[in-house]
Each structure stands twice: as structure tokens, then as C-alpha cells.
């Protein structure tokens, strides 16, 4: 059973398009995160959600909008894609009370052409 | 803001030998967690080991152990009996103790295992 899943695993699109990445966890966690890994492999937190509420919103362009329909899902919608958005995006989840341990999804490689 | 520094972009070790990856961090907090994550070419992020700052004893997981020096803000990872499957990017990460803070990562160390 996949603990944290993301769809799609690969996404190739053109500049200016709007795209979404979906994340689902079946661990019963109540906190979910989005991270971005750039071309130099540097990982940085973008957002965190607890019980469907936004907790952290790092300095991320407002073209990025996370949506959490329920505790098991955290989707990332990106408007007006730019070349610089090309990266691997990771979803992760944890328990609020044990949130030191985060479980990562397999990542989505986004390529903007 | 917390920062995590990994000063070794790449390390190489012979199979079956021991290698130590370095990590230092900067924080004003007293309660936090430190982690080492492994990222093989499959890009999956795999938790290798975790250390709670309030624990003086160094964490150990089979062939993996850490040397946690809280006063020096140092957190190195030792891999004993290196295996080909250990080849990967290794990331040191920091997390505050409370709330839903994300992980703050170092830039990573690429570990090469020589057969």
C-alpha cells in the first residue's frame, strides 16, 4: 500500500499553462506539506496544512495555490507556469502531535517548456 | 531563521569502508529535531535516522549512526560497512519541535560507493 502518493509523476507543459498536482495520504495524518526541489537538488518548504487549514506559506509566488479538500488530500495548483517553475515537487505528511516524522511522496517532476 | 550547512558536495568511499558526512546548523531554539534523509536516483526521500535535541545519546540505526554535538551545532552521519545500495544524495534536515513547521534542508552530499 502506498502511504503518500502523488499524481502525476511526470508533467511536461508549456509556459503560461495552468496545471495541478494531486497528493493523497492513507496514513491517517492531519498535517500535509509541499516541498520544491530545484535543479541543484535544493529542497525547500512551500506550504504546510493542518486539518485543511494553511499553517505555513513560505515566500512562494501567488501563482501557486494549495487546496486541501480533506485531511487526506493536498493538491497544488499552479497558474501561468514559468520556466523557473521546472522542478520536482514533493508532498509529505505527518501527525501534528508527532510531526517530527514526515513521510514523503515519490515526487512529481514538472518540466515547463 | 534556521540554516543547515553541508560542506561536502560529494564524498567517495570504498565498499565495506566507513564514511562520515558532515552537517552543521544554526538555530536559537533549544528544542528541535535533526534528520538525515537519503535520496537515491529513484528520487524517493527516505528517512535514515532521527535525533531529538533533548536526547544526549546519539541515535543509531543498524549501520548508520550520528555524532550529535549540541553545543557545537554539529550533526554528522557515519555509515559503516558501506554498501553499493548506499549510493545516493544525503540531506541533513532540521525541524523545530512544535507545530507544523516544515523541514529545513542542507544542500546535500552526493555519496559515491566504489566497488
Q: Tell how far CA A64 is from the center of its chain.
A: 10
Cell numbers given for B26: 544554526
Confidence of residue A99 (pLDDT cuts 50, 70, 90): low
Inspect the interface and report whether the beta carbons of B44 and A45 lie closer than 8 Å.
no
Q: What is the average pLDDT across B18-32? A: 95
Domain boundaries, chain A: 4-97+106-112
DSSP secondary structure letters along B44-105: --EEEEEEETT--SPPEETTEEEEEETTTTEEEEEE-S--GGG-EEEEEEEEESSTT--PEE
Task: Show residues of chain A in contact with B99, CB under 8 Å.
Answer: 55, 96, 99
B8 chain-A contacts, CB cut-off 8 A: none
Query: Can you give the pLDDT at residue B102?
Result: 86
The three cell numbers of residue A23 are 497528493
Residue B25, C-beta contacts closer than 8 angstroms, at least 6 positions apart: B2, B3, B4, B5, B34, B73, B75, B92, B94
Please state which CATH number belongs to domain A4-97+106-112.
2.60.40.10
Cβ distance A43 to B91 less than 8 Å, yes or no, reads yes
Task: Give CA–CA dist A69/A39, Å, rounded.
Answer: 30
Alpha-carbon distance B70 to B58, whole Å?
A: 11
Cα four-point dihedral sign A38, B41, A107, B50 = negative
Which residue segment(s) compose the domain that B80 sits in? 3-114
Take residue B22 and report the three cell numbers written for it. Answer: 558532515
B95 within 8 A of A100, measured Cβ to Cβ = yes
Report the pLDDT value the prediction gives residue B3, as an integer from 0 to 100. Answer: 94
Identify the band that residue A85 occupies on the pLDDT scale cut at 50, 70 and 90: very high
CA gap A68, B45 in Å, rounded: 22
Find which of A5, A46, A90, A102 to mutate to test the B interface (most B CBs within 10 Å of its CB).
A102
Q: Which long-range contacts (C-beta less than 8 Å, at least 24 apart) are formed by A14-18? A: A14/A81, A14/A112, A14/A113, A15/A81, A15/A82, A15/A83, A15/A112, A15/A113, A16/A80, A16/A81, A17/A80, A17/A81, A18/A77, A18/A78, A18/A79, A18/A80, A18/A81
* CB pair distance less than 8 Å for B95 and A100: yes
Q: Which of A101, A98, A88, A65 is nearest to A10 (CA)?
A: A88
Chain B nearest-CA distance from A29, in A, is: 12
User: Interface of chain B against chain A, CB under 8 Å?
Assistant: 33, 39, 42-45, 47, 50, 52, 89, 91, 95, 97, 99-105, 107-108
CB contact under 8 A, A104 and B45: yes
A11-68: per-residue pLDDT in tens? 999 999 999 999 999 999 988 999 999 999 999 999 988 877 887 777 788 999 999 9
Mean pLDDT over A72-97 rounds to 93
Q: What is the pLDDT of residue B68?
A: 97
Domain CATH code at residue B101? 2.60.40.10
Q: Residue B99's pLDDT is what? A: 65
Amino acid at each position: 500500500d502506498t502511504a503518500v502518493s502523488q499524481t502525476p509523476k511526470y508533467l511536461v507543459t508549456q509556459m503560461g499553462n495552468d496545471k495541478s498536482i494531486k497528493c493523497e495520504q492513507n496514513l491517517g495524518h492531519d498535517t500535509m506539506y509541499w516541498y520544491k526541489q530545484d535543479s541543484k537538488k535544493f529542497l525547500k518548504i512551500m506550504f504546510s496544512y493542518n486539518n485543511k487549514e494553511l499553517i505555513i506559506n513560505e515566500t512562494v509566488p501567488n501563482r501557486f495555490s494549495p487546496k486541501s479538500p480533506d485531511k487526506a488530500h493536498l493538491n497544488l495548483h499552479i497558474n501561468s507556469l514559468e520556466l523557473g517553475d521546472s522542478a520536482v515537487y514533493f508532498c509529505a505528511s505527518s501527525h501534528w502531535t508527532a510531526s517530527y516524522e514526515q513521510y514523503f511522496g515519490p515526487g512529481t517532476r514538472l518540466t515547463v517548456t | 531563521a534556521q540554516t543547515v550547512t553541508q560542506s561536502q558536495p560529494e564524498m567517495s568511499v570504498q565498499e565495506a569502508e566507513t564514511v562520515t558526512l558532515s552537517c552543521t546548523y544554526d538555530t536559537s531554539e533549544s528544542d528541535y529535531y535533526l534528520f538525515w534523509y537519503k535520496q537515491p536516483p529513484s528520487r524517493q526521500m527516505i528517512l535514515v535516522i532521527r535525533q531529538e535535541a533533548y536526547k544526549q545519546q546519539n541515535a543509531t540505526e543498524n549501520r548508520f549512526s550520528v555524532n550529535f554535538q549540541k553545543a557545537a551545532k554539529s550533526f554528522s552521519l557515519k555509515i559503516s560497512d558501506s554498501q553499493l545500495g548506499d549510493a545516493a544524495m544525503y540531506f541533513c534536515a532540521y525541524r523545530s519541535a512544535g507545530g507544523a513547521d516544515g523541514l529545513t534542508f542542507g544542500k546535500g552530499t552526493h555519496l559515491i560507493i566504489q566497488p
